[in-house]
Structure 1
Amino acid sequence: MIRNILLLVMTLGSIPDTWAQVNNTVSGKVYELNDKGDQVPLVGANVYWLGTTKGTPTGINGQFNLERVAGMDQLVVSYIGYQNDTLKVTSNQELTVQLVPDATLDEVEIEYRQKTVQIDYLNPLKSEHISEKELLKAACCNLSESFETNPSVDVSFTDAVTGTRQIQMLGLAGPYTQITRENMPDVRGLSAIYGMVYIPGTWIESIQLNKGAGSVVNGYESVAGQINVELRKPEESDKLYANIYGNEGGRFEANLNWSQKVGKNWTTAVLLHTKANAIERDRNKDGFLDNPLSQHFIGLNRWKYIGANGLMMQFGVKGTYIDNLGGQVGFDPETDRGTTNAWGMNLLTKRYEGWAKIGKVYIEQPWKSVGLQISGVYHDQDSYFGLNEYDANQQSFYGNFIYQSMIGTTDHQFKTGASIQYDQYDEVLNTNDYGRTEVVPGAYFEYSYSMLDKFNAMAGIRVDHHNLYGTFMTPRIHLRYALTDQTVLRASMGRGQRTASIFAENIGLFASSRQIIVQGDNSDKPFGLDAEVAWNYGINLTQEFRLDYREGSFSVEYYRTNFENQIVVDLDQSPQQVSFYNLNGASYSNSFQAQVDYEILKFVDMRIGYRWFDVNTTYGDATLQKPLVSAHRAFLNLGYETRSDWKFDYTFNWQGEKRIPFTGSNPSDYQLQQKSPDFYLMNVQVTKSWNDRFEVYVGVENLLNYKQESPILASEDPFGDYFDSSLVWGPIFGRNTYAGLRYRMK
């Protein structure tokens, strides 16, 4: 009898071990207590085995199921803003875990110097966040001048007459980079080049710069990357912000930003900008103005509503008026326009924009939201360049509906929605009309997966139907893997498609005597040309480090862009012609960049970088290096800030030689070398602040006064066969001293 009882006890004692083998998981619920003492599930809390990366987030009801790990019995539960809890798991009983919010201290003093350019280490896209503090390191008067201290973006002039700057990224011209304002299309179409001037620097709160294929949520047009501009928010801005700027070239600017709270839920802001250049300057004595005489007036009013139930709404209107007059010194538009008395140019732009955003985040389900974006643009441009008349009109509408939620847990999230892009263009070049209407409805789905902080993936696809090009698909994928806590590896691949606005994107060519030839097929397609289609592939590695108690980062990246079709801008067939035609052969861009950011001394920040481009296109039957693009660039930026609010910034650029388009058939006096020389540029700025309100700054651009000699070919005969101001490979204005002041009222 006693023997039987002992056997029964031994059998019962082995049952839990048997159950543990059968149920090799642990499950439970994570919650907090609200003010009424009720249990509120915590969604997205991290549950993982101590000392491992094996874990899972909690689901909709705060529940989790997690596989056991051999030898592990310490379970950690964490959630942002709450105290971690560590449990010892000895049985298969379902767990209930209450997390307690972090204690609120009476006073916490933290001293930390925030970086002016930050990289989001958890985002599968390598996104550089450029803050306002970074923009203030240089004379950032508009968006095109906002990248002087950034090695990822090259800035150059379109020509030596209009004074227009353009950007390049990954060795590709600016229009291949999708530029959005608060994630809505902005600089595109007729504004593809000049549109960056329409965004004053004092309006910019921050810039997010992504290279390679972007998110399908933002559309299909991104090829080289995306630049998203965040304007000052009325609920966060200074009550009053004023800025005055002037330089030795006769340029004067004034900016005024005002924000105000209206009632309980509304805020509004008014942003104003004006620019004037009324002084004729010809420092290189070529008979042409260094900069056009100009008048700019740009104004914006925005309203924002933030409700208590997760509803947010904002809308705004913007107006732009720009009048630029340039050309030969003494040109009089009243008597000289349309004649050969003197060569002149005038660009008059009137642009009106309106937009609205409506969104709702579900308070009880914070991973779930819906949003609607809509915008409209009316753009009217009258211009002439010598004897070339170019008038253009654009009317555009954009709509995008976005729904965001999760699948099971916050590890699996998705965005889906539908969009429409409508564009009507009417362009008249001399007597030729190039009108077109484009209607592109589409739908998309983007899935994101995250495994703690270790691995992230974002895969998206969209399907769009273009009324002239037909139906096409845009797949994109981004991957991120944390090799260590300080080392992140990313990879991306994606397709981009866009319509080339060949005149607006190459408007500097009008400031020449080149005959414009469009080799289209006379179809209904824009200009009779096909859509531009490219695939972009990229990989990058980011490494954070600490050296001598100071933090730094190192990054290295490589991107390749392959064009299936490209609209070739051929300047090599003849110096007297420019031809536009569909690609017939190979066209690609290879881009490599290495960069180090480090605080070399206390309060002395350094950014040093090197980038290499290999950009080639088939022109006719020959594959040539893309003209006017430097293969090599070295960069250095040093910033020093004292405790007494003095700031010193220094930027150094070295650019290697560039290929110059063919001029060998011109007379010897009008022939250029095949390659430009390399050159150095240096910029400095000194800033002094008082009481976080008043700030004065002075600076010098192109400190060494390096200039491209004779940037205008045949400037003495602007109506002759050899006149060309578009072959610009270097600085054309020389040294430029500027000064300004800023005032803030909190």
Structure 2
Amino acid sequence: MELKIKHIFFLLILSLLLSVNEGCGQTSYIKGNVSSAGEPVIGALVIIESLNQSQLTDTLGNFAFQQLNHGTYKIKVQAIDYQNYERTVTLKTGDNKKLDIQLDAFKSELNEVVVTGTMKEVSRTSSPIPVEVYTPNYFKKNPTPSLFESLQIVNGVQPQLNCNVCNTGDIHINGMEGPYTMITIDGMPIVSSLSTVYGLSGIPNSMVQRIEVVKGPASTLYGSEAVGGLINIITKDPSTSPRGTVDVFATSQQELNADVSIRSNAGKHTSLLGINYFNFKNKLDVNNDHFTDVTLQDRISVFNKWNFKRKNNRLASVAGRYIYEDRWGGELNYENKFRGTDSVYGESIYTKRYELIGVYQLPVKEKITFQFSLNSHHQNSVYGVMPFIAQQYIGFAQFLYDKKLSARHDLLIGLPFRYIYYDDNTPGTSSADIAEPVNAPQKTFLPGIFVQEEFAINTKLKSLAGLRYDYNSIHGSIFTPRISFKYDLSKTNIIRLSGGNGYRTVNLFTEDHAALTGSREVIISHELKPEKSYNANLNYQKFINTKKGFIGLDLSLFYTYFTNKIIGDFLTDPDKIIYDNLNGYAISKGITLNTDFSFSFPLKIIAGITLMDVYSVQKDSIGVNRRVQQLHAPKISGTFAVTYKINQLGIVIDYTGRVTGPMELPVQTNDYRPSVSPWFSIQNIQITKKINKQFEVYGGVKNLLNYLPKYSLLRSEDPFDKRVNDSVSNPNGYTFDTSYNYAPVQGIRGFAGIRWILQ
């Protein structure tokens, strides 16, 4: 009996030991390595949500989760500069897993490969120059017929309408007027001077691969005109474009926009043909002033780009674009037969534009590239009874020599040449002979040279220094230096400091639409001297990985000081615009913050805010300094784009908008209209339904809050000022004025569209 009890006890002990051993055998581990393009990804966040556990990869990209029970686990990996990764792993009893995780480069609107800051392809986090990147996917959140309107959801960038009748405008960066913003296509100065007023609306989104924005000095690489900032439109690459795309949408106000692109092959070479058509013929008058609220337009743009296959992957491409636009705004009973007469007021503009751009890498051992562009801009316009006929030709050529001197030194040398021919029917292109003036078109030659060196001082600190010399055939020698520093506090904390100067000549009749309307006389007090500016920009970038997603912060402080700034005085005399060099100085300063939130659940938020103060200081007649705020420069503004995906239904919801604070406005003496605009917000919502991989439909509402400005035109009942001196009907002596504007006169409207992509 005793032996039997001992035997049973022994068996119990043995069973317990076996059960403990079996229990220990049930625990497993998941180990792995995270890499990208053969390099370990250091500091990647690896998450097992069900266990509420996370780890950062080590210096070799390794991670390990120990003591795991059998079951199914979802592994998530997040890392700066890379797309999020998810994988489901099932562990059986006693099982172990070793994972090899390859991350793809992160593609977002705020972090991409950029070329604008340095003329070289680098990741945005590696660039010494702060560059913002926006892709067509970002602009699809609020579809518009042109680049000009698309930029309204970019923080710190303000598309400003300058005329309530013909709806022409320009693009302000950090409060500075459109002429201080240089707009390039593939890095070449295609859009400038005359076309800054009328060419922007003709750039269709269908030709855009991405848009890069530099806020602050960019003069060393792109010329003295890039004083306030630079917008570089990178066109699509035919070799990577879909075989065909169609994007068509219409609004409830009868706007119609169609984008079509077709890719074709000719042997090893590829071509991309893009056609954009926009039509709006609906005479709207919501504010009952008997004038069109929105200019009527009929526009077509044709774009064709060729990429040529060459040995050693050397570059060779050429692209051409043609645009024709017929637009008019005015009294509701206006017809073309009244064009240029004083019977019925209208502003009618015919625009024809041709562009050719190309790049060719020389077949030599060193990396030498030749870039060129040609454009022709013809405008036939009438503002009431005042005709404005103008033509402009711009030729541009540039050699770039890119040399890597060592592992730490990069050298870039450029030899640019630019020729500008401009002619119109105004005194701006007349000879100085007052008695017998003759036509004297402006012909400007701008040869130059620039040198830029990028130097990695150590693994954390990088410098970029550049110097540019241009010779302006009218104004002589121009020097534009700049220097920038980039310091990595860590992989996720970056500081950039940039400084430089700019130099700008002015063509009033192409840059200031108010000088063309005929409602005011243009007075030039003295011979205008070129403007000079001194710029500084401090930028801080931070990336945060959390268990719930990714956060990107981009903060910038900017400061620009102007001398010889050319000011248009709208206030001294309501019948005149008086231009002169500023007897003092002007300042643009402020702070801008961009944020990017990408969550592990299907929500993404991009939001930004800009605080700025733009003003001039000039001595008055008694020698006292007087401060004047810049017109159309709100002290506070912000943008947002919220995207939520319902993956099970294939639905995407986009909510976008812009909030604009008070800004100074041009008013007349004793004007009943406020001299400062109110707060306002334009908001939009869109729902997109993906039918399959190739087809989707979308629709929504623009100007969801139905915001409309309370005031716009002054004396719309007498646009030719025929009764301006009638003291009974016009006791304050008001004159017809189209320049008072701070928001589009276009209320709430629905829209619907389709997109089809053939890969």
Structure 2 length-normalised TM: 0.79
Distance in 1, Cα, partners of 2:413 & 2:60: 31
**What is the match of residue 300 of structure 1?**
303
1:728 matched to 2:741? The reply is: yes
Q: Deviations over 1:380-420 (max 9, x none)?
A: 1110111221111111110100101022x131010112111
CA gap of 1:310–1:514, structure 2 versus 1, over 3 A, is same
How big is the shift at 1:435?
2.6
Deviation larger for 173-182 or 160-169: 160-169
Which of these residues, 452, 461, 485, is aligned with residue 446 of structure 1?
A: 452
**What is the match of residue 54 of structure 2?**
none
Distance in 2, Cα, partners of 1:183 & 1:583: 32
CA gap of 1:589–1:400, structure 2 versus 1, over 3 A, is same
**What is the match of residue 411 of structure 1?**
408
Where do 1:52-451 residues align within 5 Å? Answer: 114-118=107-111, 120-214=124-218, 216-264=220-268, 266-334=269-337, 336-360=338-362, 368-407=366-405, 409-429=406-426, 433=430, 435-451=441-457
- For residue 128 of structure 2, give the secondary structure of its aligned residue in structure 1: coil
* Alpha-carbon contact 2:263-2:271 (below 8 Å) kept: yes
Identity across aligned pairs (percent)?
26
Distance in 2, Cα, partners of 1:431 & 1:499: 13
Distance in 1, Cα, partners of 2:705 & 2:306: 46
Q: Deviations over 1:315-373 (max 9, x none)?
A: 12221111112211111221x233321101110111112222101587xx7xx511001
1:501 matched to 2:502? The reply is: no
Deviation larger for 433-442 or 175-184: 433-442
Deviation larger for 499-508 or 418-427: 499-508
Which of these residues, 736, 752, 757, is aligned with residue 739 of structure 1?
A: 752
CA gap of 1:509–1:247, structure 2 versus 1, over 3 A, is farther
How big is the shift at 1:431?
10
Distance in 2, Cα, partners of 1:661 & 1:152: 22
How big is the shift at 1:600?
5.0
Give the partner amino acid of 2:321. Answer: K
Give the partner amino acid of 2:403. Answer: S
How big is the shift at 1:113?
7.4
**What is the match of residue 714 of structure 2?**
713
Deviation larger for 450-459 or 232-241: 450-459
Which of these residues, 641, 647, 651, is aligned with residue 652 of structure 2?
A: 647
CA gap of 1:281–1:461, structure 2 versus 1, over 3 A, is same
Deviation larger for 670-679 or 174-183: 670-679
CA gap of 1:112–1:212, structure 2 versus 1, over 3 A, is closer
Gap runs ≥5 in structure 2: 1-37, 44-58, 62-97, 113-123, 431-439, 621-625, 725-734
* Alpha-carbon contact 1:567-1:580 (below 8 Å) kept: yes
* Alpha-carbon contact 1:310-1:360 (below 8 Å) kept: no
Give the partner amino acid of 1:226. Answer: L
How big is the shift at 1:687?
1.2
CA gap of 1:435–1:267, structure 2 versus 1, over 3 A, is same
Q: Deviations over 1:238-263 (max 9, x none)?
A: 11111112112322122211111211
Distance in 2, Cα, partners of 1:679 & 1:386: 31
Distance in 2, Cα, partners of 1:312 & 1:128: 25
Distance in 1, Cα, partners of 2:240 & 2:310: 16
- The root-mean-square deviation of aligned C-alpha atoms, in Å, is 2.6
How big is the shift at 1:618?
4.2
Distance in 2, Cα, partners of 1:717 & 1:134: 44
**What is the match of residue 92 of structure 1?**
none
Give the partner amino acid of 1:604. Answer: L
* Alpha-carbon contact 1:402-1:415 (below 8 Å) kept: yes
CA gap of 1:136–1:486, structure 2 versus 1, over 3 A, is same
Distance in 2, Cα, partners of 1:261 & 1:587: 53
Give the partner amino acid of 2:109. Answer: T
- For residue 422 of structure 2, give the secondary structure of its aligned residue in structure 1: strand
**What is the match of residue 663 of structure 1?**
668
**What is the match of residue 522 of structure 2?**
516
Report the count of equivalent residues.
631
Where do 1:538-687 residues align within 5 Å? Answer: 538-599=537-598, 602-618=601-617, 621=620, 622-643=626-647, 644-665=649-670, 670-687=671-688
- For residue 146 of structure 1, give the secondary structure of its aligned residue in structure 2: helix
Give the partner amino acid of 2:400. Answer: I
CA gap of 1:651–1:601, structure 2 versus 1, over 3 A, is farther
Q: Deviations over 1:32-61 (max 9, x none)?
A: xxxxxxxxxxxxx99xxx99xxxxxxxxxx
CA gap of 1:627–1:152, structure 2 versus 1, over 3 A, is closer
* Alpha-carbon contact 1:660-1:672 (below 8 Å) kept: no
**What is the match of residue 14 of structure 2?**
none
CA gap of 1:710–1:510, structure 2 versus 1, over 3 A, is farther
CA gap of 1:642–1:453, structure 2 versus 1, over 3 A, is farther
CA gap of 1:239–1:520, structure 2 versus 1, over 3 A, is farther
4+ runs deviating over 3 angstroms:
105-114, 430-434, 508-512
CA gap of 1:259–1:620, structure 2 versus 1, over 3 A, is farther
Distance in 1, Cα, partners of 2:567 & 2:393: 26
Structure 1 length-normalised TM: 0.80
Give the partner amino acid of 1:309. Answer: N
Give the partner amino acid of 1:358. Answer: Y
CA gap of 1:173–1:736, structure 2 versus 1, over 3 A, is farther
* Alpha-carbon contact 2:249-2:753 (below 8 Å) kept: yes
* Alpha-carbon contact 1:572-1:619 (below 8 Å) kept: no
* Alpha-carbon contact 1:255-1:273 (below 8 Å) kept: yes
CA gap of 1:475–1:736, structure 2 versus 1, over 3 A, is same
- For residue 717 of structure 1, give the secondary structure of its aligned residue in structure 2: coil
Gap runs ≥5 in structure 1: 1-44, 52-75, 79-104, 522-528
Distance in 1, Cα, partners of 2:663 & 2:274: 40
Distance in 2, Cα, partners of 1:431 & 1:440: 20
How big is the shift at 1:449?
1.0
CA gap of 1:184–1:450, structure 2 versus 1, over 3 A, is same
Distance in 2, Cα, partners of 1:508 & 1:732: 18
CA gap of 1:332–1:153, structure 2 versus 1, over 3 A, is same
How big is the shift at 1:635?
3.2
Distance in 2, Cα, partners of 1:431 & 1:182: 31
Distance in 2, Cα, partners of 1:113 & 1:491: 25
- For residue 714 of structure 1, give the secondary structure of its aligned residue in structure 2: coil
CA gap of 1:220–1:628, structure 2 versus 1, over 3 A, is closer
* Alpha-carbon contact 2:380-2:388 (below 8 Å) kept: yes
How big is the shift at 1:379?
1.1
- For residue 303 of structure 2, give the secondary structure of its aligned residue in structure 1: strand
How big is the shift at 1:661?
2.7
* Alpha-carbon contact 2:555-2:591 (below 8 Å) kept: yes
Give the partner amino acid of 2:489. Answer: L
